[in-house]
Amino acid sequence: NHSDQPNENWGRELLELFSMGVGNYSEDDVKQAARAFTGWTFEQPLPLYPYGHYESKFVFNESDHDNSEKTFLGRTGNFNGEDIIDIICEERATALFICRHLYNFFVEDEPQIPAWSIEPPRNPEAVDAMIDILMSNEGELRPVLNYMFNSDFFKNSFYKKVKNPSELVAGTLKLSGRYAVVPAEGENVGTLYNTAAVMGQALMNPPTVEGWHTGHEWIDGGTLNERVNFAVNQFNDVSSPGFEDILGRLGSAVKSVDLVDKCLDLIGPIEVGDETRQALSKYAEEVGDLELSTDEDRAENAKKIARMIQLIVATREYQFA
């Protein structure tokens, strides 16, 4: 980013993607921000191979910095990059951008970020309260998080976020107990990277600097098939530690009328809609009451219970958090 050739893309991405969002700044603000960051660069690291990773080092080249007066978001002065960041952090639009991200990540799926300039928050009152707390505490996040995590809107938020692929994979593996111990010979943990990737999330490799679009955009005909198949396949093995734990916690017997609720409770708890419950209850009626008091009983009925677990992890509700 040179004084004679300011990198406007830097100013644009700072404002659009990482601080204020579209619609809260002008094209001239982009240019002025780029000028303020001239001279910011880094030392070229040593080659990655064959010596491994070396961190880059930030360098400020004062002779390459534009020291002239700049007007940015209504303020005028001989601003540098840190001044620009300070000004950005004073803007309510920045607080809104941060608080919507927090709400989107922890509470419920918001519209996709590029639409935030035209789509209001799902819960404007909650986001406004978070903004006020953030601004009254000079940008300190701890009070905002404390308010959010203790709020009713957070505590009452169930199944309003589509699990991203890494959440689905990690949560299902934890439930099944696979990889809880050192993997068996021939079992490659690295394949889990590819598992998430085919669902749309190649970890550490987002499609753009903006990151991934979340929420319902995780789901399409292909990725849904991958998600369901992965979750179901984790319970093919009734000797997996997670399934054995579920089996043990069901007790010595389970009646068909209780099977659905007990399994939902043990793998969640998960709440399901009426249509889903009817489908699960139909299967429970088909298998009838199950005895689990002896090794022979458990061996005979384990597959039936595993099938119930597979039906649950294949439901629409399991895709949400």
Do 287 and 163 share a structural domain?
yes
| Number of domains present in the structure of the chain | 3
Domain residue limits at 222: 159-321
- pLDDT (0 to 100) of residue 7: 94
CA distances from 277 to 78, 98, 185, 259 (A): 65, 38, 39, 11
| Residue 192 belongs to a domain | yes
pLDDT of residue 65: 97
Same domain for 48 and 15: yes
Asked if 111 and 166 sit in the same domain, the reply is: no
pLDDT of residue 191: 86
Residue 242 lies in a domain: yes
Cis-peptide, bond into residue 269, ω within 30° of zero:
yes
Whether residue 2 lies inside any domain: the answer is no
Domain presence at residue 182: yes
- 175 with 227, same domain: the answer is yes
Q: Is 3 inside any structural domain?
A: no
27 and 113, same domain (yes or no): no
Does residue 213 lie in a domain region? yes
pLDDT of residue 182: 67
Same domain, 13 and 126: no
Q: Are 234 and 178 in contact (CB under 8 A)?
A: yes
Domain termination residue (choose one: 130, 155, 180) = 155
Please tell me whether residues 135 and 184 are part of one structural domain: no
Burial of 287 (0-12, 13-18, 19+ CB in 10 A): middle
Per residue of the chain (321 residues), give pLDDT as tens: 899 999 999 999 999 999 999 999 999 999 999 999 999 998 876 666 666 677 788 999 999 999 999 999 999 999 999 999 999 999 999 999 999 999 999 999 999 999 999 999 999 999 999 999 999 999 999 999 999 999 999 999 999 999 999 999 999 999 998 877 766 666 677 888 999 999 999 999 999 998 999 999 999 989 999 999 999 999 999 999 999 999 999 999 999 999 999 999 999 899 999 999 999 999 999 999 999 999 999 999 999 999 999 999 999 999 999
pTM for this entry: 0.88
* Shared-domain flag, residues 210 and 276: yes
Asked if residue 80 and residue 18 are part of one domain, the reply reads: yes
